[in-house]
Amino acid sequence: MYCDFGYASKEFDGTGSSRSSSLYSPASARSRNSEALSSTHLGGRVGSKVESLSIAARDVDRQIVSMTIAYLNSEYPSLSHTFIEREVRALRERGVKIRTYSVRSANASGRMGNSNQSAAEETVVLRAGPATLLKDFVLGGLASPVGIVRALAASQRISPPGLGYRCRHVAYVIQGIRLARRLVAEGIEHVHVHMANNGAAIAMMACKFDKRIQYSVSIHGSAEFFHVDTWTLTRKVEGAVFVRCISNFCKAQVMHWAAPASWERLHIVRCGIDPEVFRPRPLRQPGPLRLLTVGRLHPIKGYTLLMEACKQLAAEGVRFELSMVGNGPLMEALKEAICSRGLTDRVRLIGPLPQEEIQQHYDRADVMVVSSFMEGVPVVLMEAMAKELGVIATRVGGIPELVEHGVNGLLVDAGSAESLADAIRVYAANPDLCRTHGIAGRERVCSQYSIAGTAQGMLELFQKYVGIDRVNEHK
């Protein structure tokens, strides 16, 4: 299938019509922040008519963004957060200058692959030794004693009760001052944070310390919705210049916890992948149904139930194989479960792999299985659908916005091994259905979940809320 992405080449005012570009500074643009976007869906559907902000036609003047935005995450890069690295790359391709920051250094698996290794090398890590943090705190206090008092007071207002939480929020202030000093030194006035975890808390403290800085946040779920109080989700949302939600489900959850006055600053920009990188897999080879999982080996992924489903199918004589790519705290328990259920000849634990090597497993697979108890919108599902695999996924979170039951995949009940087994039986009985669903799945990804649409949506949010100097570059 051919995917036509086009290229965003004019500035849009949120109504679907273009307006001429003009030079303006971040400071002057911030006066427009109170203007609500007329659509809360940005990007996502590239190459089709939608109610979201539109993508411009080809053969018009390109605009190059000339301000620098900081991207902050608790750990960057990370194998489980490859969508952030892709988003950064796609925005840079559109001329946005991005400086990446991480609270802590990437671990060994996070550095796997060429793109992640490059991302790790260029990322500024905030975590430092006591002497460095003390130096930043003292210099910050000398430069702005009022700023330190303001940040410390804010940290205690948002902190959950308990000495441990209060001390942790003081640590966020210290790291926030370190971040603010670095941002100001580099002339950066806006930081965008993925996830409403400790990275967002540090960004908040940086903004309290130095009011020249502002922040925005991307909410993914499901972790944010499990830790609403301890992660102070409401405060982080209400303090942000804008909040990007990755799905309708995600936006609805944020609306539940945030004051109605902040709802107009909530916008949907879906995560995306590059369908030209994830091309359709080769034609299926004869043999057993080849199942695949890709993700962290964590209890929330429901893999124990998947082992139960596999045990049922093996007892029935259903021909299948399962490859599980990933690492995590369930590794040893899964090894034991595979042995105790007599699945050693059917289920393989592959371990963590870089993106370049995961492609080989997609090419060999027939079906991607997501058995999670809760999810946001798994990017691995987008990748599998772009590869034209059949997909089986639990009906949780934002998954039903991506997978349409019986059209581009099969949705199953969460927490049910029998439901998982039933879906696998359907594909095992009719392997050609994998390709039928896969073709429809690729169409869904191309039209609604491309990285081009993600980058365009984020660019339009930055233009609207942050203010970006623009210059024209003629083709």
Mean pLDDT is lowest, of 153-157, 222-226, 325-329, 455-459, for 222-226
84 torsion bin: left (phi>0), alpha (psi -120 to 50), beta (else) = alpha
Vertex 430: Cα angle to 1 and 447 (nearest 5): 25
Beta strand segments in 352-408, E: 367-370, 390-394
Question: Does residue 365 carry a pLDDT above 70?
Answer: yes
The pTM score is: 0.83
Nearest to 240 by CA among 220, 215, 205: 215
The answer to whether 389 and 321 are in contact (CB under 8 A) is: no
If one counts every other C-beta atom within 10 angstroms of the C-beta of residue 92, the result is: 13
Query: What distance in Å separates the CA atoms of residue 458 and residue 463, rounded to the nearest whole number?
Result: 9
Q: What is the pLDDT of residues 173-209, one digit of tens each?
A: 999 999 999 999 999 999 999 999 999 999 999 999 9
Query: What distance in Å separates the CA atoms of residue 243 and residue 200, rounded to the nearest whole number?
Result: 12
Q: What is the pLDDT of residues 223-253, one digit of tens each?
A: 888 877 787 889 999 999 999 999 999 999 9
Query: What distance in Å separates the CA atoms of residue 108 and residue 94, rounded to the nearest whole number?
Result: 30
Placement of tokens 């952030």 in the chain? 84
Mapping DSSP onto H, E and C, the string for 227-240 reads: CCCCCCHHHHHHHC
Average confidence (pLDDT) over 249-277: 96
Question: Does residue 310 carry a pLDDT above 50?
Answer: yes
Question: Does residue 453 carry a pLDDT above 90?
Answer: yes
- pLDDT for position 109: 82
Q: Between 60 and 432, where is the model more confident?
A: 432
The 320-325 sheet, strands edge to edge: 347-351, 320-325, 289-294, 367-370, 390-394, 410-412
Which of the four pLDDT bands, split at 50, 70 and 90, describes residue 468?
A: low
Q: Note the helical H segments in 371-416.
A: 379-386, 399-402
Question: Does residue 120 carry a pLDDT above 80?
Answer: yes
Q: On the CB side of 123, how many CA atoms lie within 13 Å of its CA?
A: 29
Q: Which two tokens stand for residue 458?
A: 């984020």
- pLDDT for position 42: 54
Question: Does residue 14 carry a pLDDT above 60?
Answer: no
* 117 SS3 class: helix
Average confidence (pLDDT) over 385-398: 98
The answer to whether 246 and 269 are in contact (CB under 8 A) is: yes
Residue 35 CA to chain centroid, in angstroms? 26
Q: Residues with Cβ < 8 Å from 333, sequence gap 6 or more? A: 304
Q: Which two tokens stand for residue 425?
A: 């039986």
Question: Does residue 23 carry a pLDDT above 70?
Answer: no
Q: Give Cα separations from 473 to 62, 65, 69, 168, 234 (angstroms).
A: 5, 10, 21, 47, 41
101 DSSP assignment? E
If one counts every other C-beta atom within 10 angstroms of the C-beta of residue 325, the result is: 21
The 124-125 sheet, strands edge to edge: 124-125, 97-104, 68-75, 190-194, 214-219, 243-245, 266-268
Domains in the chain, start-ordered, CATH in brackets? 11-272+451-473 (3.40.50.2000), 289-448 (3.40.50.2000)
Which of the four pLDDT bands, split at 50, 70 and 90, describes residue 289?
A: very high
Residue type, 327: N
Q: What is the pLDDT of residues 81-109, one digit of tens each?
A: 889 999 999 999 999 999 999 999 988 88
Average confidence (pLDDT) over 410-432: 98
The answer to whether 9 and 58 are in contact (CB under 8 A) is: yes
pLDDT over 70 for what percent of the chain?
84
Q: What is the pLDDT of residues 27-73, one digit of tens each?
A: 333 333 333 343 345 544 443 333 333 333 333 233 335 679 999 99
